[in-house]
Amino acid sequence: MIRLFKVKEKQKELAENANGGVPIKKQTAGELRLHKDISELNLPKSCAISFPNGKDDLMNFEVSIRPDEGYYLCGTFLFSFQVSPIYPHEAPKVKCKTKVYHPNIDLEGNVCLNILREDWKPVLNINTIIYGLYHLFTEPNYEDPLNHDAAAVLRDNPKMFESNVRRAMAGGYVGQTFFPRCI
């Protein structure tokens, strides 16, 4: 291709003059795929999405979930999403920003949801993840615990679990841990 290189070199100045001011922003394949995911979102009424950095940064966004049934009825739980430029080759990083008494979410906001880690596949999308998160609130499970104590209570004494959840959501202590109000 050396002849082409040579020609190009010689015509470079010309070309440079002809197209100054070309914007340099590069959109990665990951951003494009995310654009598709976001523009096809179909969320239940109980979930809302927001973009803290404005309409042109889709890679960082927040989802709030307000369960309309189950133990967590009426609570509002905020999740942050961080999407990698090689999405969907890699799953988004999701954290729960609201401190919650939940068997599958620890006090630091780590979430045990299989599709966020070991079972992530590029065919899944943002919608699937949000539904997965929503599901965690309507059907918390004690079989895959991250908060060991909460899981044990849910398994052994669902009534007590229910009252613990209510107390935490209203803003109060469960055992030694304080939970800010999220209703």
Tell me which of 11, 53, 82, 157 binds another protein, using CB under 8 A: 11
Taking CA atoms, 100 is separated from 48, 110, 139, 151, 171, in Å, by 18, 11, 15, 13, 10
SS3 state of residue 167: helix
Binding of residue 176 to another protein (CB under 8 A): no
Tell me which of 65, 111, 153, 165 binds another protein, using CB under 8 A: 111
# residues contacting another protein (CB under 8 A): 68
Instruction: Please report how close the Cβ of residue 75 comes to another protein at its closest, in angstroms.
Output: 21
- State which residue, 44 or 170, has the beta carbon closest to another protein: 44
SS3 state of residue 92: coil
Cβ(58)–Cβ(51) below 8 Å: yes
The catalytic position among 47, 74, 96, 112 is: 112
Supply the angle between the helices 126-138 and 29-39 in degrees, to the nearest 10. Answer: 50
Tell me which DSSP letter residue 42 carries: -
Query: Is position 112 annotated as part of the catalytic site?
Result: yes
Tell me which of 79, 101, 120, 134 binds another protein, using CB under 8 A: 120
Distance in angstroms (rounded) separating the CA atoms of residues 83 and 70: 30
In the sheet that holds 60-65, the strands lie side by side as 47-50, 60-65, 77-82, 93-96
Instruction: Please report how close the Cβ of residue 163 comes to another protein at its closest, in angstroms.
Output: 23
- State which residue, 36 or 181, has the beta carbon closest to another protein: 36
Among 108, 94, 99, 63, CA closest to 182: 99
Binding of residue 81 to another protein (CB under 8 A): no
Query: Annotated active-site positions, please?
Result: 112
Residues that bind another protein (CB under 8 A): 1-9, 11, 14-16, 18-19, 22-33, 35-36, 38-43, 48-51, 54-56, 58, 84-86, 89-91, 104, 106-112, 114, 117-118, 120, 142-146, 148, 155
